[in-house]
Structure 1
Amino acid sequence: MKDIFITAALCSLLTATPALAAPPAWEITDADSRVVLFPTIHVLPDGLDWETQALKAEIQQADEVWFEIEDATSPQAVAEIQALMGEKGLSPDMPLSKRLSEDQLATLTATLDSLGVPLAQIDPMRPWLAAVMLSMTSLVQAGFNPENGVEKELEDDYADRPRRGLESPAFQVGMLASLEGDDQVGFLMSSLDDLDSIGETLLQVAHAWSKGDVEMIETELLAEMRADYPDIFAAMFTNRNANWAEIIDAEMQGSGRDFIAVGAGHLVGPESVQSMLQARGYTVRRISLVDE
């Protein structure tokens, strides 16, 4: 389930590339409001050139800048997320070694051995948290850095801009924690299947994103989950996109211009936020943030 862990960690050994293209963006308008939707990669390869002057101008001209969480990198938000993960992600009375079948536990144990992680370290975790932690561990061991990402860059560079959030940390953690038992186990086992390729996949997605290749992003981020895990897909994408479209709709009842940065998976495919806003009657247009 490589698409899920676009939210984990990514950093690579790339050299810098010239900004001959730019990530995609969409403009949502009505008579007196304009919103720019900008897809993010939560962790990026080092040296990837993506922040154009046109993008900076859009942010500086915005009345407000929105993220999935208002300030996800603040010490307060990080502490809240960590506390929630402990509260909703641990199940010492039903450890993984009892929750998984014999074959599933053998697969998990083999993966842990390859990563040098003892079973005791993750055994108390619920399957969703184990999946996230192992994917992050795999990426870090492959040389990726969780500190490098679009949101962090934007939050650092535009800290003076008025900021708002579409969701709370509690909602984001609860989204995975609320999955049914079978879905959580499926989430874990699918993630184990993808650990060997997750770094390469995220690297390809980051390059496609930096060049505006929407089709490739959708294929790599959404296609597998949409087909094989519809309930997880609905929880992670369709339902949240609908919530965000509702929030943006309410925001556009006023006037002005906003800049909204959310994960790339939410702005591709037929369930995208902009598709839902278009269905509500707004004018949607893909725009280029390439420097002239």
Structure 2
Amino acid sequence: MYLLLKKWMGKFCFYILIIFFIGLPGILSGQENSSLLWRIEHPDTDKISYLYGTLHLLDKSYIDSLPAVTDALTRAELIVGETLTDSTDLLRKVIKYTLMQDTLLSDIMDSVKFKKLNTLLKENLGVSVLYLNQFKPAMAWSMFTQAIYVQEFPVLAEKNDVLIDQYFLDYAKQNNIELAGLETTSFQMNLLFNKISVLRQLEILEDAVDNIDENKVLLNLMMQNYFANKLESIEADLMSNGLSEDEKNMLLRDRNREWLNKIPALIKDKNSFIAVGAGHLVGEEGLISGLRKLGFKVAPVDMSRSLNN
């Protein structure tokens, strides 16, 4: 079990965050001025910051095709991520939040679905579901997401050495740029593994395993639309994904509100680069709308062109 965790820890936090927004209806439809990169002008200072919506599954190499994102990153005096992942401390926290005490996944999961999940994981990740038997169902759901990603996008998955969000953090450390996190890893772990009950996690996992083909179709649509920079309707799509209103608030809206309390102070005195999941950007309660309500000028940026042009 320890070796399995060590193998996947570098990618775990970003995969586990996307599982609540994948495999459920999520088709993005484009609108005018659609972009994943947004320029933020501070109302009280001359500082210029950029907000970028990531897709947590992607490798850092994707940034090479986006000159404006690269330029925004190189101009940053502060880089802000959802959380600052410390891999040495992550293993301890994963064990603390994700292990079940008195039961096994095989005891509570339908046996046919358990075997189906085992086949999927073995064929695509080379991992038996038995290695996850002591973990809460959300951990298995995370591995399920990885498995269908590897199956549907083998070329992209082959390059998955450093995920895009982690790359931004690594870039800051390598270039002595100040770093800030909007949340702690402990907060995210508690949110995903404790705030959502084990039985609810199991319900979501079994539904995903029951609908593997549908999940693959939706993953393909999500990837296709992300690459096309179709952002604006993602909030409506996320809100129709089958989660309860309490879950939607907890996983998206409440976190956005907390981030909007922190971002203005973070970017007041520094040209900053903020990278968070694309689903947090849009909608009436998204970061773009929220920053505008706070008096910031927020405008889309053409990612295919250098900021110097």
For Structure 1 versus Structure 2, the TM-score category normalised by the shorter chain is 0.7 to 0.9
Give 2:285's aligned residue.
Answer: 271
The structural deviation recorded for 1:24 is 3.5
> For residues 179-218 of structure 1, what are the structure 2 equivalents within 5 Å?
179-193=196-210, 195-198=212-215, 201-215=218-232, 217-218=234-235
> Is contact 1:66–1:164 with CA below 8 Å preserved after alignment?
yes
Give 1:25's aligned residue.
Answer: 38
The structural deviation recorded for 1:22 is 6.6
Q: Helix, strand or coil: the match of 2:97?
A: helix
> Is contact 2:63–2:69 with CA below 8 Å preserved after alignment?
no
* Segment drifting more, 179-188 vs 260-269: 179-188
**Matches of 1:68 and 1:206, distance apart in 2:** 21
Give 1:131's aligned residue.
Answer: 141
- Change beyond 3 A, Cα 1:94–1:175: same
1:135-182 alpha-carbon deviations (Å, 9 max, x no partner) = 224434553244243224434555312222212221221111121234
Give 2:114's aligned residue.
Answer: 108
- Change beyond 3 A, Cα 1:201–1:238: same
**Matches of 1:199 and 1:170, distance apart in 2:** 30
1:56-87 alpha-carbon deviations (Å, 9 max, x no partner) = 222222221111123x3xxxx12322222222
- Change beyond 3 A, Cα 1:34–1:183: farther
1:92-130 alpha-carbon deviations (Å, 9 max, x no partner) = 412223334xxx443233332344465533322212222
**Matches of 1:190 and 1:219, distance apart in 2:** 21
2:49 corresponds to which of 35, 38, 41? 35
Matched AA of 1:257: N
> Is contact 1:90–1:124 with CA below 8 Å preserved after alignment?
yes
2:249 corresponds to which of 202, 227, 234? 234
> For residues 246-285 of structure 1, what are the structure 2 equivalents within 5 Å?
246-252=261-267, 254-285=268-299
Give 2:3's aligned residue.
Answer: none
1:226-258 alpha-carbon deviations (Å, 9 max, x no partner) = x43333322221121111111113335x43421
1:168 and 2:184 are equivalent in the alignment: yes
In structure 1, runs of 5+ residues without a counterpart are: 9-20
Q: TM-score, normalised by structure 1?
A: 0.76
- Change beyond 3 A, Cα 1:233–1:26: farther
**Matches of 2:225 and 2:54, distance apart in 1:** 12
1:8-46 alpha-carbon deviations (Å, 9 max, x no partner) = 9xxxxxxxxxxxx97432425312143321111122279
1:52 and 2:66 are equivalent in the alignment: yes
> Is contact 2:18–2:56 with CA below 8 Å preserved after alignment?
no
> Is contact 1:30–1:283 with CA below 8 Å preserved after alignment?
yes
**Matches of 1:39 and 1:172, distance apart in 2:** 18
* Segment drifting more, 206-215 vs 237-246: 206-215
Q: Percentage identity across aligned positions?
A: 21
1:189-248 alpha-carbon deviations (Å, 9 max, x no partner) = 23324544555544543443333211464466x2443x4333332222112111111111
Matched AA of 2:88: A
Give 1:62's aligned residue.
Answer: 76
Q: Helix, strand or coil: the match of 1:259?
A: strand
Number of residues of Structure 1 aligned to a counterpart in Structure 2? 268
Q: TM-score, normalised by structure 2?
A: 0.72
**Matches of 1:200 and 1:209, distance apart in 2:** 14
